[in-house]
Amino acid sequence: MAENLIKPENLVYKKTSVMTDKVMHYCPGCGHGTAHRILAEVIDEMGIQNETIGVAPVGCSVLAYNYFDVDMTEAAHGRAPAVATGIRRVFPEKYVFTYQGDGDLAAIGTAETIHACNRGENILIVFINNGIYGMTGGQMAPTTLEGMKSSTSPRGRDIKTMGNPLKITELVAQLPGSYFVTRQSVHTPGSVRKAKRAIKKAMEYQKLNKGTCLVEIVSNCNSGWKMTPVQANKWMEENMFPFFPLGDIKVPQE
C-alpha cells in the first residue's frame, strides 16, 4: 500500500541540495540537525549558495562545515565573529554567517560577539543555546540555568559561587550595531517554520548593510541533560523558555 504512494508526483518534501550527504554526528533528538536544515533551506531558496561563506565554531557544531554545501572556515573557539568580520570585510557583496553554541558565543567569544555586533558587521550569527557544553561532555555553560545540573555544577548551578546565566542575546539587542535580534526554537513543526522565517529575514537583511543579525535558537541537549529527547523538549519548554523567552527582541525600525 505505502509503496504505491512513493512516486515523484507525490513528493512533498526533500532534502535541500545545500546540505551534503554526509551522515551527521549529532545525537538523536538534538536540535542541531533541524537548525542546520532550515539555514541550508534558506540559502537554497534565496539562490545564494555560490555567494555564501559560513564559519563553524568549536563545540558540537565544530563539523558543521561538513554538512553545509557552501565554502566554510573552521574558527578557533569563540572567534567566529572575528573570522566572519575578516571575510565580510574583504567580500562585502557576499553572505556570511557564523553558527555558534553558547560556550563559543557567550563565554570564550563574548568580546568577539559584542564587538562584531557593536561594529554592526553585516553578518548573520546563528546562536544555538542549549545551556550546556555538549561536545566536551556536559559541563556548565554561560547559559546554564540557576540550579541546573551539569558535570561541573553537579549539585546545580549555584549563583553565589558560579555566577549568573548570561542573556547575551538581550545584551546584543542593546547595541546600536545590531539590526535584527530574535530568539526562536526548533522543537515543534510550528517553531521550525517560525525559526526558518527569522533566519530568512536575517539573511536577506545582510544585503541592506544595516548591521548584525543574530538569531538565537533555544535548543535541547538530551545527552548532556541526561534525558530522552521527549523529556528534554518538555524540560526546555518548562525551564529554558521562562528564562529565555521566545520572540523578536529587536526588529528593524522601518
Partner 1 sequence: MKELRLMKGNEALAEAAIRAGADAYFGYPITPQSEVIEYLMAENPAERTGMVVLQAESELAAINMVYGAAGCGKKAMTSSSSPGISLKMEGISYIAGAELPCLIVNVVRGGPGLGTIQPSQSDYFQAVKGGGHGDYKLIVLAPATVQETVDYVKLGFDLAFKYRNPVMILSDGIIGQMMEKVELFEQQARSTEEPEWATVGKKPGRDHVIVTSLQLQSEEQEKVNLRLQAKYREIEKNEVRYETIMTEDAEYLFVAFGSAARITRKAMEMARAKGIKVGLLRPQTLFPYPYEAINKLADQVKGILTVEMNAGQMVEDVRLAVNGKVKVEHFGRFGGMIPNPDEILNALEQKIIGG
Residues of this chain that interact with partner 1 (CB under 8 A) are 20, 49-53, 55-56, 62-63, 65-66, 68-76, 79, 82-87, 89-91, 94, 111-112, 114-115
Neighbours of 74 (CB within 10 A): 16
Q: Report the residue number, 27 or 227, with the smaller CB distance to partner 1.
A: 27
- Residue whose CB is less far from partner 1, 53 or 249: 53
- Decide whether 123 or 148 has the Cβ nearer to partner 1: 123
Cell of 4: 504505491
CB of 161 to partner 1, least distance (A): 28
Kindly state the smallest distance separating residue 251's Cβ from partner 1, in Å: 26
Backbone angles phi, psi at 47, to 5 degrees: 65, 35
Alpha helix (H) residue ranges in 107-247: 110-119, 159-162, 168-174, 189-205, 222-225, 229-235, 241-243
Least distance from C-beta 167 to partner 1, angstroms? 21
For residues 18 and 13, give the distance between their C-alpha atoms in angstroms, rounded to a whole number.
14
- Distance between CA atoms of residues 36 and 32, nearest Å: 6
24 or 63: whose CB is closer to partner 1?
Answer: 63
Q: Which is nearer to partner 1, 65 or 244 (CB)?
A: 65
Q: Cβ 73 to partner 1, closest distance in Å? A: 4
- Judge contact between 102 and 140, C-beta under 8 A: no
As measured in angstroms, the least distance from the Cβ of 113 to partner 1 is 10
Task: Please tell me whether residue 177 adopts helix, strand or coil conformation.
Answer: coil
Residue 152: burial class (beta carbons within 10 Å; 0-12, 13-18, 19+):
middle
Least separation in angstroms between CB 206 and partner 1: 14
Nearest approach, Cβ of 236 to partner 1 (angstroms)? 29
Instruction: Retrieve residue 204's grid coordinates.
Output: 536577506
Task: Name the residue nearer to partner 1 (CB basis): 94 or 210.
Answer: 94
Specify the pairing of strand 178-185 against strand 247-250: antiparallel
Q: Closer to partner 1 at the Cβ: 133 or 244?
A: 133
Task: From residue 87, give the alpha-carbon distance in Å to each of 71, 72, 98.
Answer: 11, 10, 11
